Amino acid sequence: MHYSLGIDAGGTYTDAVLVRDSNGEIASSNKALTTYPDPLEGIKNVIDGLNPEYLKNVKLVSVSTTLSTNTLLEGTGFPVALILIGDHPLEKELPTRHVLFARGGHNHNGEEVFPLDLEAIEKFALAVKDKVSAFAISSYFSTRNPEHELKAKDSILKLTGLPAVCGHELSQELGAYERAVTAFLNAQLIPITRQFVQSIITDIRKRGINAQLLMLKCDGSVVGIKDALEKPIETIFSGPAASLVGASYLSGLKTCAVVDVGGTSTDISSICMGVPDLSDEGAVVGGWKTRVRAIRMETTATGGDSHIWTVDRELFLGPRRVIPLALAAVQYPDFLNNLKRTPMPAREDLGENIQPTKFFIRSGYPACDLSKAEAEVLGAIGEEPVSVYEITALIRKDLLPQTLDTLIQKRLVQAIGFTPTDALHVLGEYTAWNEEASKIGAERLARLMRMTPGEFCISVKKRVARNMALHLLSYVLQGVPYTSIEKILDGNYSAKFKLGIPVVLLGGPVRAHRKELEEFIDANIIVPEHAEVGNAVGALAGKGIKRVEILIRPASLVTPETDFLVFAPGKRLRFDLYVEALNAATELGKKIVTDYMKDCGLSGNQVEISIEKKTTSPDGWTHPPMETNLLVMGVGMRGLPD
């Protein structure tokens, strides 16, 4: 009997499931803590907890992750240099300080406007190679001719050995700025995705598992691992996409809204008649608009590991993820004593990084490009958690909270603090780790809020449920301002929201929030069996989907009967006759789809290919179409039962 293995790596937990291929039933499941900076140990631990007899017969491994999404949400991505070739607009903000504007670029027909200034690009690459982990390249009208992007990429690879990402590789849509941002974000994620995928490959190969390896994309479809490594930006929302597909699979509902509560974020999405609700525009992540096709999603930086802190008797939730006090007390034996003896800071000093429950530890990532202040503070932080009080004593000067912020953003320091998970430990609703550490943290913060620890934890729990409700309603009520929704949620009117579709909850201790959520919203709220590993199930339930868009247009309107250009992904072709161009474009599209499906382990009658052709011509036009848009789409089904 054959099995499929699904793995999802989240900010706190890595989940795994084994699904029996014959009937689609979950045969075994497990959860283990995600490990940093190398996820290999967490992946090994989660697979170790699965039935070893079933593992011998695994023929497919499919994975998803929120690690890359969390990186962009928290602003902790690797440094990247951006090279803009041609006449790029300058009025918009760029996501990095390492930027070069180089001469070159093409026009709408893919003809060179200016020669590429390769010398300037090479000089820039050598100047910044020790400050960045990758390069992103975007050339004007590269979707019509990628020649300049490819030349720059080849040269950078030879000079620096660092990966380089081209805009045309990620999107065929016009929009030079969005394409540049997409390339930049993709380059940021290459080290993280490569490490995650390599960890999985290493572990399954050691176990003798020879299986097809796939990864879920952010539109709910699967992709071969080779494509995932080259285009990690397409997997930025693979975790949320997995939750959507997994929730539908576990609940048996073809239409539902999904609330997935993770460690770092809560993601809201929906599925209708088995089809994920996709965004009409590119995915927006970390405030940056991309050209990546993704599920329509409402994301809030509120999760089980969100930092709970207080200033002036006001409660703050997030946005950063921290290690819960309860977990830190298990991972670091002396932490509980440190927590007990650390003095309360003065009220006037309180801030996000100065709290009676906030501690810091080295992450294990290599340090580079540090200021003197950053180096001093990092030197005071070791392999055991330390408080701001201890750091200040070691560096013998006042500590600027901004320095800690920068070190966290650079992924060099991981924070520990009070979280919603700690609140559940105090209330006895989730007790996986050390309850005493959570109670001490609650007592300290409750004192600052002038509450009892119980009252404080209940208020934290209600705040989490309110955030879930607010973002769920904002997702459903598109265009309605947050403030209007908040007035009703907060009881300013004698009214209550009622949803017409079921709401499926996924996540670890998500059952603990069901009652509070029902107080805010009248809805059929469902927590299915195996909800705690729903994302790992979703990683297996995704379909293989590939869309290829190809444009055909005459090279010149002076001679519209002959000389046609074909703009396909990474290619610019030329033909004498329209029928030749159309036939070549159709065959090329089918080949791209077929090759893609083979990488996904799908072929023959498992794949359906459809072709949609749209033509545009002015009234009275008697020549071949002025513009032909060809959409070649393949859908591959692996055969998990409905």
Residue 491 has pLDDT above 70, yes or no: yes
For the chain, what is the largest distance between any 2 Cα atoms, rounded to a whole number of angstroms? Answer: 86
Q: How far apart are CA 213 and CA 224, in angstroms?
A: 7
Asked whether the beta carbons of 78 and 188 are under 8 A apart, the reply is yes
Q: For residues 91-113, give the mean pLDDT.
A: 82
Most confident of 59-73, 213-227, 390-404, 575-589: 575-589
Average pLDDT in the chain? 85
User: Looking at the domain assignment, is residue 417 inside a domain?
Assistant: yes
Which residue, 369, 391, 389, is CA-closest to 379? 391
Of 405, 435, 451, which marks where a domain is finished?
A: 451
Residue with tokens 């670890």: 508
**Residue 490 — pLDDT band, cuts 50, 70, 90?**
confident
Asked whether residue 442 falls in the same domain as residue 552, the answer is: no
pLDDT digit string (tens) for 22-64? 888 899 999 988 887 778 888 899 999 999 889 988 988 888 8
Q: How far apart are CA 339 and CA 390, in angstroms?
A: 12
Q: How far apart are CA 280 and CA 626, in angstroms?
A: 26
**Residue 186 — pLDDT band, cuts 50, 70, 90?**
confident
Q: How far apart are CA 607 and CA 302, in angstroms?
A: 39
Please give the structure tokens belonging to residue 505: 């909850």
Asked whether the beta carbons of 223 and 600 are under 8 A apart, the reply is yes
Which residue, 520, 17, 526, 490, is CA-closest to 259? 526
Asked whether the beta carbons of 86 and 54 are under 8 A apart, the reply is no
- 388-408 in b/e form (b: 16+ CB < 10 A) is bebbeeeeeeebeeebbbbbb
Cα angle for residues 578, 581, 583 (degrees, 5° grid): 110
Q: Name every residue whose Cβ is closer than 8 Å to that of residue 14 and which is 6 or more positions away in sequence.
A: 7, 8, 31, 32, 33, 34, 39, 42, 43, 45, 46
Report which residue type is found at 139: S
Please give the structure tokens belonging to residue 314: 């006001």
Amino acid 641: pLDDT? 42
Q: Name every residue whose Cβ is closer than 8 Å to that of residue 525 and which is 6 or more positions away in sequence.
A: 502, 503, 505, 514, 517, 518
User: Looking at the domain assignment, is residue 290 inside a domain?
Assistant: no
Q: How far apart are CA 86 and CA 39, in angstroms?
A: 40
Task: For 230-250, give the DSSP string.
Answer: H-GGGGTTHHHHHHHHHHHHH
**Residue 329 — pLDDT band, cuts 50, 70, 90?**
very high
Q: For residues 462-489, give the mean pLDDT.
A: 89
The fraction of the chain above a pLDDT of 90, given in percent, is 36
Domain that holds residue 383: 308-451
Peptide bond into 37 cis (omega under 30): yes
Q: How far apart are CA 107 and CA 541, in angstroms?
A: 42
> How far from chain centre, in Å, is Cα 113?
36
Q: How many CA atoms, within 13 angstroms, populate the side-chain half-sphere of residue 14?
A: 26
Please give the structure tokens belonging to residue 212: 């097809």
Residue 518, burial from CB neighbour count under 10 angstroms (0-12, 13-18, 19+): middle
**Residue 399 — pLDDT band, cuts 50, 70, 90?**
confident
Q: What is the reported pTM?
A: 0.71
Asked whether the beta carbons of 553 and 540 are under 8 A apart, the reply is no
Asked whether residue 568 falls in the same domain as residue 443, the answer is: no
User: Looking at the domain assignment, is residue 515 inside a domain?
Assistant: no
> How far from chain centre, in Å, is Cα 122?
31
Asked whether the beta carbons of 587 and 573 are under 8 A apart, the reply is no
Of 433, 451, 469, which marks where a domain is finished?
A: 451
Q: How far apart are CA 232 and CA 136, in angstroms?
A: 13
Q: How far apart are CA 586 and CA 573, in angstroms?
A: 13
Of 427, 451, 475, which marks where a domain is finished?
A: 451
User: Looking at the domain assignment, is residue 358 inside a domain?
Assistant: yes
Report which residue type is found at 309: W
Number of independent structural domains in the chain:
2
In this structure, is the dihedral angle defined by the CA atoms of residues 423, 262, 59 and 541, taken in order, positive or negative?
positive
Q: How far apart are CA 489 and CA 82, in angstroms?
A: 43
For the packed helices 388-395 and 372-379, what is the interaxial angle rounded to 10 degrees? 110
User: Looking at the domain assignment, is residue 572 inside a domain?
Assistant: yes
pLDDT digit string (tens) for 202-250? 888 888 888 888 887 767 777 777 777 776 666 666 777 788 888 988 9
Asked whether residue 314 falls in the same domain as residue 423, the answer is: yes
Asked whether residue 443 falls in the same domain as residue 547, the answer is: no
Length of the chain: 642
User: Looking at the domain assignment, is residue 535 inside a domain?
Assistant: no
Name the DSSP class of 154: H
Q: Lowest mean pLDDT: which of 169-173, 544-548, 622-626?
A: 169-173
550 versus 597: the higher-pLDDT residue is 550
Helix (H) or strand (E) holding 307: strand 306-311
Residue with tokens 């910044």: 128
pLDDT digit string (tens) for 351-390? 999 999 999 999 878 887 788 888 999 999 988 999 999 9
Residue 642 has pLDDT above 60, yes or no: no
User: Looking at the domain assignment, is residue 600 inside a domain?
Assistant: yes
User: Looking at the domain assignment, is residue 124 inside a domain?
Assistant: no
Which residue, 187, 126, 133, is CA-closest to 162? 133
Residue 572 has pLDDT above 50, yes or no: yes
